[in-house]
């Protein structure tokens, strides 16, 4: 995909976010705040009986990059195990978004990743 298609994909996720909801029953719940703008995001994960992500959702507000990133991340983590979730790194989020992220927007791009990481820390 070229950068234009990635941009369209980001706008599509922003306008029609996937899995934007809270989970009443969850195994992992974490939160993150973008210190630059104050936007907050919560990330929820529920595992199935095989220990794979059955549901992943998020709630929160923010710019297109943060909201699209969260929406994409809920899709990306489906079927992952706890160990696989722990191996996710910021680079995975940047590849998922697929556009150049300036240093000033890094906190936006990584907001959902940080919320998930916060939940994983408390899951232990």
The region of 58-66, 76-84, 89-97, 113-121 touching ligand FES under the rule CB under 6 A is 58-66
Helix axes 64-77, 90-97, angle to 10 degrees: 110
**63 close to 108: Cβ distance less than 8 angstroms:** yes
Output DSSP code: residue 103: G
Which CB sits closer to ligand FES, 53 or 72? 72
The region of 19-27, 31-39, 50-58, 82-90 touching ligand FES under the rule CB under 6 A is 31-39
Regarding 42 and contact with ligand FES (CB under 6 A), the answer is no
Regarding 93 and contact with ligand FES (CB under 6 A), the answer is no
Which residues on adjacent β-strands are paired with residue 42? Answer: 31, 59
Regarding 108 and contact with ligand FES (CB under 6 A), the answer is yes
Output DSSP code: residue 33: E
């Amino acid at each position: 995909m070229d950068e234009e298609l990635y941009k369209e994909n980001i706008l599509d996720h922003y306008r029609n976010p996937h899995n934007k909801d809270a989970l009443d029953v969850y195994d992992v719940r974490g939160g993150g705040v973008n210190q630059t703008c104050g936007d907050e995001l919560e990330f929820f994960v529920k595992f199935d009986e095989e220990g794979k992500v059955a549901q992943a959702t998020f709630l929160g507000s923010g710019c297109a990059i943060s909201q699209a990133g969260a929406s994409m991340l809920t899709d990306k983590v489906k079927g992952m195990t706890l160990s696989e979730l722990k191996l996710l790194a910021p680079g995975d989020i940047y590849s998922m978004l697929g556009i150049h992220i300036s240093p000033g927007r890094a906190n936006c791009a990584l907001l959902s990743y940080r919320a998930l990481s916060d939940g994983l820390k408390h899951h232990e």
